[in-house]
Amino acid sequence: MSQVPLDRSIYDVIADLRPLWERRQVQSHLARFGFSGDEVQRSAGALSGGERARFALAMIVLARANPLILDEPTNHLDVESIEALEDALEEYDGSIIRVSHDRELLRTLVDRVWVLHEKHITDFAGTFGEWETASRERADAAAVNAAEEESLRRVHEKQKTKRKDNGRGRDRDLIRNARRKAEEAERRVTALEGRIASITGNLADPEIYTTVDGKRRAVDLGRDLEVMKKTSMRQSAIRRRPRR
């Protein structure tokens, strides 16, 4: 924005950047950024903030730099200007690093994603749409883990209540037998909980989704997680720990 000459017409600025262009080429380029007709003779200093941003982008596209670094490039732009910007960036031959909260822009133009996660950068070699899918998969895995923990907590509470009501009427042999079964089930549930936590941790790591093999492994881990969840529920349901 600071490099826009404010004391000259926008037509003259573009014409100086492309001295071999004919008048129609200069006007066509400006039209791509929303300046047409008599508007091309306006002074750059008379432009509004959004218009000046559009004109700055019109200048940048002609700079033939590689790469471009764009920080929230759609701020202050109307819908038509954003569409013009997307078209211009799609035709740009160089590399573009963009930081943006505009998800539609990212879905349209991004083919590689750098994600900040726990103080390090994950390089996701895919589109932003693919990254959104991977993020939803991680969120689903976290939700499954949370539901599993809540289910186990409820089972534990229910078992405590049943032990208080039924434990007094059992004879010694039945108590010993039930205790052995409960301890065995407890060991199985503990082992399953450890494996569930490990799988959930793997699914929560963005790097697992950065390769084809990693994505396949994530699918397999998701299936394993469901199986372990059902097994853990069955084992939790049969656990009984009689009172001493």
Rounded distance, CA 172 to CA 218, Å? 48
pLDDT at 242: 45
pLDDT of residue 163: 62
CA distance 15 to 233: 73
Contact partners, residue 149, CB within 8 Å, separation at least 6 = none
Tens of pLDDT along the chain (244 residues) come to 788 888 999 999 999 999 999 999 999 999 988 898 888 899 989 988 888 888 998 898 888 778 888 888 888 788 888 888 888 888 877 888 888 888 888 888 888 888 877 888 888 888 888 888 877 766 655 565 666 666 667 766 766 766 665 555 555 666 667 677 767 767 777 776 777 778 777 777 777 777 777 777 777 777 777 877 777 676 666 554 544 4
Write down the residue that tokens 């959930």 correspond to: 200
Q: Is the dihedral of CA 221, 226, 229, 231 positive or negative?
A: negative
pLDDT of residue 92: 79
Torsion angles phi and psi, residue 9, rounded to 5: -75, 155
Token pair, residue 67, equals 């790469």
Exposed, middle or buried by CB within 10 Å (0-12, 13-18, 19+), for 11? middle
Instruction: Output the pLDDT for position 20.
Output: 94
> What single-letter DSSP state applies at residue 77?
-
The pLDDT, as a whole number, for residue 170 is 58
Please tell me the predicted confidence (pLDDT) of residue 146.
65
Identify the structural domains of the chain with CATH numbers, from first to last. 10-109 (3.40.50.300), 129-238 (no CATH)
CB contact set of 129 (below 8 Å; sequence gap of 6+):
107
